[in-house]
Amino acid sequence: MKDLTNPVWIKMKGLLFLFIGIAAAILIFLGSPNWQTAILLVVAIWSFCRFYYFAFYVIEKYVDPSYKFSGLISFAKYLFRRR
């Protein structure tokens, strides 16, 4: 499969991810509409975003600048290979 290089399609892909995330969050909240669900959902989303930032930016910029990550599976392989 060829890499996606067209800026319009890259932006569309990003918007699709945003739409899917919003739809999933709404469906989860509608399944259990209370403050605890809402807060836990926000915390989970925030934590996953921070992990993603850590996995790609922090590791590449501060821990091992020579390694370029291509995805979360690549990151997991990197972590287990380093031990």
Residue ranges of the domains in the chain? 1-33, 46-83
Whose tokens are 């990151």? That residue is 75
Residue 8, phi-psi category: left (phi > 0), alpha (psi -120 to 50), beta (remainder): alpha
Query: What's the rounded mean pLDDT across residues 12-21?
Result: 94
| Secondary structure letter of residue 59 according to DSSP | I
Q: Is the pLDDT of residue 82 over 70?
A: no
Percent of the chain with pLDDT over 70: 96
| Strands in 1-83 per DSSP E | none
Yes or no: say if 73 and 81 are a contact pair by the CB < 8 Å rule: no
